[in-house]
Amino acid sequence: DAAPRTQGPATRLVIVANRLPVRWSDEGEEGGRWIPSPGGLVSAVGPAIAQRPGDAAWIGWTGAATEEEPFEVDGLHLHPVAMSDDEKVLFYDGMSNGTLWPLYHDKVVPSEFHRHWFDGYKRVNRRYAEAAAAAAGPEATVWVHDYQLQLVPGMLRELRPDLRIGFFLHIPFPPPEVFQALPWREQLAQGMLGADLNGFQTPEAAANFRRLTMRLGLAEAHGDESVVAGDRVVRACAYPIGIDVARYEGAAHDRETTERARDLRARLGAPHTVLLGVDRLDYTKGIDVRLRALKELLDEGSLNPATVTMVQIAQPSRDDVEAYITLREEVERLVGQINGDHSRVGFPILHYIHQDVEFEELMAMYRAADVMLVTPFRDGMNLVAKEYVAARYDLTGSLVLSEFAGAATELADALLVNPYDVDGLKAAIVRAVSMPPAEARERMERMRAAVEANDASEWADRFLRDLAADRERVTT
């Protein structure tokens, strides 16, 4: 049975991710065009792609229901995967965001199991795998990303045993005790075992995966960071993702950013202290508990509304999924309550922005904020925490960080909190607001060293280098 092989014999590296790294812009001539959309993944794997000009392809969904031909943007071959509206509901809203996302994030909301969701997930995963198999040149490297595509490595190995296959999970991987509830636990674990290398954000997540494969009887222990499945050694270890440090530090130093930050503080009424939250509007991010802590601090008089202002950016996200609609209502109720109780005309205590924010504005916010609140109940990494640190070149500012974000491993000098502990969170906020400059400086210096030591491009290089390394043989 011949594997589907067609174009791109030269393609040495294929990235497979849920979305393509472009978006449609209506601006410009001829009714619009595709432009690069700078997300975390693009900036992280971008340098690796740039080293292979003309040799790299990206498989993903454009967001549209229509079928599209491969096209090219800035020298990168893009292969759109078609997905009908019905398939999107099963694969993306359903299995990905209604089953796996909550299950992997400590079930902050209940995880739902539906057989037709999994069938849709399987069907769409197969389409990504077939597209990757068709695009990859002989013995090429394929790097599959994230929880939406966990079956792809296994499917791809069957179609193209010649490929070197890597998988990286951007979100947490739960302990086997939690994962085992999944009716499709074997298929999902087997899917990942199809990869030569499985990367995770933390050593704990990698250990959870290795433990799971052994518990399910799919693999045996093999050294500290691998398992043996059949006749193959599968590595599973941590590759904590970083940010494009130069981009963030550069933008922070920009004169325009400085002016924008000053203007922002003036527009906020020149408060003594600006608190900031920046998240996708997601129930895992702990926005509600953070606002509850703020409310109590204001109610009790531990924070003075005459000197403190908070900005909460909540990027619209997954608004077709029920739990996100409920969260939005809860957050907006809290915002109304807090402002109703503590604002003065012309001076809201809490500025809530449920919008996408452009990069330059986000940088100005990081520069304007004295205290950054990053309090997810569970988070694979959390790049916002690292972006804030990168922006604080003058060594001012405090970071309050959840101990359940992957970033807490590297940013141990933040004020670490248990986001479920409202009193602990309140104490950390008060401590951050009143932190002596010398202490803030010391902490920020160490946090900056950690962020600088793990640049996004090095992260991708390290993963791809390890993936390319000689495969260990299993001797029986």
Which chain residues interact with ligand ADQ by CB under 6 A?
A: 40, 170-171, 241, 278, 280, 313, 315, 356-357, 362, 379-384, 387
Residue closer to ligand ADQ, measured from CB, 184 or 388: 388
440: left (phi over 0), alpha (psi -120 to 50) or beta: alpha
How many angstroms separate the CA atoms of 162 and 182, rounded?
Answer: 31
How many angstroms separate the CA atoms of 13 and 32, rounded?
Answer: 29
CB of 162 to ligand ADQ, least distance (A): 29
CB of 406 to ligand ADQ, least distance (A): 6
User: What are the residues facing 234 on neighbouring strands?
Assistant: 227
How many angstroms separate the CA atoms of 285 and 288, rounded?
Answer: 8
How many angstroms separate the CA atoms of 121 and 252, rounded?
Answer: 41
Residue type at 271 in one-letter notation? P
CB of 381 to ligand ADQ, least distance (A): 3
The yes-or-no answer on residue 253 being catalytic is: no
Catalytic residue among 146, 379, 413, 455: 379
The sign of the torsion formed by the CA atoms of 210, 128, 168, 418 equals: negative
CB of 353 to ligand ADQ, least distance (A): 7
CB of 440 to ligand ADQ, least distance (A): 22
Catalytic residue among 79, 105, 170, 342: 170
CB of 241 to ligand ADQ, least distance (A): 4
The yes-or-no answer on residue 145 being catalytic is: no
Q: How many helices (H) and strands (E) does the chain have?
A: 18, 18
Residue closer to ligand ADQ, measured from CB, 130 or 239: 239
Contact 352, 81 (CB under 8 A): no
Give Cα separations from 158 to 154, 179, 304, 469 (angstroms): 7, 25, 63, 21
How many angstroms separate the CA atoms of 77 and 73, rounded?
Answer: 7
Contact 109, 142 (CB under 8 A): no
Residue closer to ligand ADQ, measured from CB, 7 or 37: 37
Nearest to 21 by CA among 89, 82, 76, 83: 76
How many angstroms separate the CA atoms of 29 and 460, rounded?
Answer: 35
CB of 88 to ligand ADQ, least distance (A): 19
Please compute, for residue 68, the number of CA atoms within 13 A of its CA located in the half-sphere on the CB side: 18
Residue closer to ligand ADQ, measured from CB, 227 or 276: 276
Residue closer to ligand ADQ, measured from CB, 357 or 430: 357
User: What are the residues facing 58 on neighbouring strands?
Assistant: 15, 78
Q: Indicate the Cα dihedral angle 172, 175, 181, 187, nearest 10°.
A: 70
How many angstroms separate the CA atoms of 202 and 475, rounded?
Answer: 30
Catalytic residues: 170, 379
